Structure 1
Amino acid sequence: MAGHSLPPFDACNLGSRCGDAPAAVAANRADLVQTLGLPASPRWLRQVHGTRVFDADARSADDDEPAADAAVTRASGTVLAILTADCLPVLLCTDDGSAIAAAHAGWRGLAAGVIEATIARLGVPASRLLAWLGPAIGADSYEVGDEVRAAFVDRSAHAAAAFVPTRGGHWQCDLYALARLRLAAAGIARVHGGGFDTFTDTRFYSYRRNRETGRFASLIWRARES
């Protein structure tokens, strides 16, 4: 789906804060709903690399794009969406499909505990949850500095396995491995996905590859009850 945006946003950009024309983004989002046959327009978030979790079922959930980096719902027909272009989208659901969640896990949010905050907001035993790791930048393409490694290793020595030294003060960082460690520590054993590299795979937007670029979405929803 090419969408209505001009280059470099011409692969159906869904992000409203990356420099694309607002009318084009709105048209792309409308096409997304129609093409996928979504039960409703997604609940878009204004992602800020934090840990706030938006409850899409709350009475106060009227803000079109609340500032949050995760969302939860138990309602059928509510579509949750995470926008990314190298960061890691994490989708969660209960094994009976009664509750779902979506989280934006860039390194800052991941280190700060966005996955743990999302699990807590769902309010169900972790043993009942399944997780899917969406497309993100791969370890071979993601070099970070000492401060990023320290943000994880200072909390858990096990996180050191997700970093490989490259040059002085720099490391290859495996976001997928870090997310799996956090999910395992929280008690979630059923984890799927995690096989993409948005930097090398041109099907995806990548901020590290292009800087001026769009955003794609990872979506999760419960089908409407008949």
Structure 2
Amino acid sequence: MNAAAFLHADWPAPAGVHALQTTRLGGVSAGPYASLNLGSNTADDPARVASNRARLRAALALPREPAWLRQVHGCTVVDAATVAGEAPAADAGQSGLPGVVCAVLTADCLPVLFCADDGSWVAAAHAGWRGLAAGVLEATLRCAPLPPARLMAWLGAAIGPGHFEVGPEVREAFVGARPEAGAAFAPGRGDRWQADLYALARLRLAGAGLLRVHGGGLCTYADAVRFYSFRREPHTGRMAALIWRD
């Protein structure tokens, strides 16, 4: 597995913090799941998913198995150090311990990685529109041992606003709570809207006091070579966003 299989976080994280997102390159899955599908909740061959996860661990020399979650588009955050065996129903994992690998899986939803500016805490959140509206980012920040001003976030690849068409109920879920969220929606066809997940995430993070936000701007839908996209192909794989500290 070569370097092209990963997007390394472009942020000023302290030494010892490792953060990245996988692409669809470098695995053994075939067909619509080609090739580095890491999602066990897909219809891919489980043996191939297991092989892909093993290849990931080896390529990154991970200190332990990532704390995989059973994501449900909610705002539950778990202590990643306690995850073992069956994946818990949650949409974010966090840890202050070295060697604990926080992980979320995506195929259009927005992965958000967090770290403290002293490297003492890391977290990963799965933020589709439902999770964003439910407050998954704010719930993750509440688990941090330091105030938001001491934290930073990195936004991985997600579906871009040019391809993320939503109904009026989605816009209302955000604008009804925060009118300023209207800037993240552009008029589409009929009563539809084009939603900007990146802008919505930045708005929620800023509202919680976290202003150091990096990354963003890559569109999973538009880049079929590097990324899986559920909107583009309903039968597809999952990428992982991972973060851990030495």
TM-score normalized with structure 1 length: 0.95
Could you say what secondary structure the match of 1:8 adopts? helix
Could you say what secondary structure the match of 2:33 adopts? coil
2:68 is the alignment partner of 1:37? no
Q: 1:6 aligns with which of 30, 50, 55?
A: 30
Could you say what secondary structure the match of 1:184 adopts? helix
Q: Measure, in 1, the Cα distance between the counterparts of 2:85 and 2:59.
A: 25
Q: Measure, in 2, the Cα distance between the counterparts of 1:35 and 1:57.
A: 22
Give the ranges of 4+ consecutive aligned residues of structure 1 lying more than 3 Å apart after TM superposition: 61-64
2:201 is the alignment partner of 1:179? yes
2:210 is the alignment partner of 1:188? yes
**Do 2:67 and 2:81's aligned partners in 1 also have CA atoms closer than 8 Å?**
no
What corresponds to 1:207 in structure 2? Answer: 230
Structure 1 segments unaligned to the other structure (5+ residues): none
Name the amino acid aligned to 1:32: L
Deviation at 1:28, TM superposition (A): 0.5
Deviation at 1:63, TM superposition (A): 4.3
Structure 2 segments unaligned to the other structure (5+ residues): 2-25
By relative contact order (CA 8 Å, sep 6+), the higher-ranking structure is: 2
Q: Measure, in 2, the Cα distance between the counterparts of 1:166 and 1:139.
A: 11
Could you say what secondary structure the match of 1:14 adopts? coil
2:241 is the alignment partner of 1:218? yes
Name the amino acid aligned to 1:216: M
Structure 1 residues 3-12 or 17-26, which shifts more? 3-12
Deviation at 1:196, TM superposition (A): 0.2
Deviation at 1:4, TM superposition (A): 2.1
| Count of equivalent residues | 221
2:79 is the alignment partner of 1:55? yes
TM-score normalized with structure 2 length: 0.87
Q: Measure, in 2, the Cα distance between the counterparts of 1:14 and 1:214.
A: 7
Name the amino acid aligned to 1:55: D
Superposition RMSD on alpha carbons, in Å?
1.0
